[in-house]
């Protein structure tokens, strides 16, 4: 969708998924993403708005699970600064879903 890919990883203190989360630390998540050939840069951010303000991208990309769910402050910032909003068509990879599926499977035995 662009020429230079910057991926923002949410800082651990802002991941609101419950006790013991995130499962992987911000440094681990950032290192995994940075290892991808298509990724040019990884930043740690407090939230999407923080990342948008720091990176000032041409395109703001979110997963397809965000269709109709882009938060108003993010959409407003993009509109004000001429940033296009796009959604990926890649499969959704949810650590929460993986953990819940594994818990369900373990309860079967």
User: In this predicted model, what pLDDT tens digit does every residue of 11-43 receive, in sequence order?
Assistant: 999 987 778 778 889 999 999 999 999 999 999
| pLDDT(101) > 90 | no
Q: Helices 72-81 and 48-55: crossing angle, nearest 10°?
A: 10
Nearest to 1 by CA among 72, 62, 75, 79: 62
| pLDDT(109) > 60 | no
User: In this predicted model, what pLDDT tens digit does every residue of 71-88 receive, in sequence order?
Assistant: 999 999 999 999 999 999
Pure H helices in the chain: 26-34, 48-55, 72-81, 95-107
Structure tokens at 65: 């699970």
- Please state the φ and ψ torsions of residue 32, each to the nearest 5 degrees: -65, -45
Kindly list the structural domains of the chain, giving each domain's residue range(s) and its CATH number in brackets, ordered by start.
6-107 (3.40.50.620)
């Amino acid at each position: 969708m662009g020429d230079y890919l910057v991926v923002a990883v949410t800082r651990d203190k802002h991941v609101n998924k419950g006790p013991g989360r995130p499962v992987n630390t911000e440094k681990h998540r950032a290192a995994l993403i940075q290892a991808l050939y298509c990724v040019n840069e990884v930043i740690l951010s407090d939230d999407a708005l923080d990342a948008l303000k720091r990176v000032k991208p041409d395109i703001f990309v979110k997963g397809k699970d965000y269709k109709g769910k882009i938060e108003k402050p993010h959409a407003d910032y993009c509109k004000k600064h001429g940033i296009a909003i796009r959604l990926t068509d890649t499969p959704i990879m949810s650590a929460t879903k993986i953990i819940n599926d594994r818990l369900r499977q373990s309860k079967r035995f």
